[in-house]
Chain A
Amino acid sequence: NAGVTQTPKFQVLKTGQSMTLQCAQDMNHEYMSWYRQDPGMGLRLIHYSVGAGITDQGEVPNGYNVSRSTTEDFPLRLLSAAPSQTSVYFCASSRQGAGNTIYFGEGSWLTVV
């Protein structure tokens, strides 16, 4: 039962470096998304996708890029890391439609120094 798998779990980056957070799901879910969690802010949506080849911005998209070439994978790219991007990142997926539960990966802890 893999569900939603994120890698890496922990990462330290220097300001200005780029990196990709990987996300894969094996449930054939159409909807995938990335959230970031910051103290006192809850979880905020970065980008989402409703199917292969279709992506759109969430609440806090600046500094991030996504693509969806397959149903299974939804990587999140940090183009030029900034200390403000220090956060915990969660990938999530669900079947299309608001009535379906969104399942989350285990999270990726990112520190930008």
Chain B
Amino acid sequence: AQKVTQAQTEISVVEKEDVTLDCVYETRDTTYYLFWYKQPPSGELVFLIRRNSFDEQNEISGRYSWNFQKSTSSFNFTITASQVVDSAVYFCALRASLTGANSKLTFGKGITLSVRP
């Protein structure tokens, strides 16, 4: 069975602070894919990043960076110099290598990030 845990439920920061969103996952598959999605107040789900299980290279995209560590089954997301527009719910998700039912996305429960001016 697959599981994604986002232990933080709500985070509130002041603009320009750095913030890290934690994600821990469980799967028995040796090949799998991890995702982060952003859900702004308007409600749509926006894809942010995909990472496969055999590529532990960390990634930086502008103010966003992701730290993938298989040893701790974690895929954490850091926003540097946060802005009000970063306020959203952030979901971490896991997709296993098999087709059919196991190709579904298993989501964590989401982290609500509020960035105050």
Please encode chain A, from 80 to 107, with 1 for each CB lying within 8 Å of some chain B CB and 0 for all others: 0000000010101000111101111111
Which residues of the partner chain B approach A99 to less than 8 Å between Cβ atoms?
33, 50, 52, 95, 97
Size bracket of the B interface: 20 to 34
Q: How many A-B residue pairs have CB under 8 A?
A: 67
A92 to B100, CA, bound (A): 15
A92 to B47, CA, bound (A): 12
Q: Which residue of A has the minimal Cβ distance to B108? A: A42
Q: Is B107 an interface residue (CB 8 A)?
A: yes
Most chain B beta-carbon contacts within 10 A, residue among A44, A92, A102: A102
Tell me the interface secondary structure of chain B in the complex: mixed
A42 to B9, CA, bound (A): 11
Q: Is A13 an interface residue (CB 8 A)?
A: no
Residues of A in contact, count (CB < 8 Å): 28
Q: Chain B nearest CB: distance from A21 CB in Å?
A: 15
Which residues of the partner chain A approach B45 to less than 8 Å between Cβ atoms?
90, 104, 107
B104 adjacent to A96 (CB under 8 Å)? no
Which residues of the partner chain A approach B33 to less than 8 Å between Cβ atoms?
98-99
Q: Which residue of B has the minimal Cβ distance to A105? A: B44
B95 adjacent to A98 (CB under 8 Å)? yes
Q: Chain A nearest CB: distance from B94 CB in Å?
A: 9
Please encode chain A, from 46 to 59, with 1 for each CB lying within 8 Å of some chain B CB and 0 for all others: 00101000001010
B109 adjacent to A41 (CB under 8 Å)? yes
7 tightest Cβ-Cβ pairs between the two chains A and B: A104-B45, A42-B107, A42-B109, A98-B95, A43-B107, A106-B44, A45-B104
Q: Chain B nearest CB: distance from A7 CB in Å?
A: 14
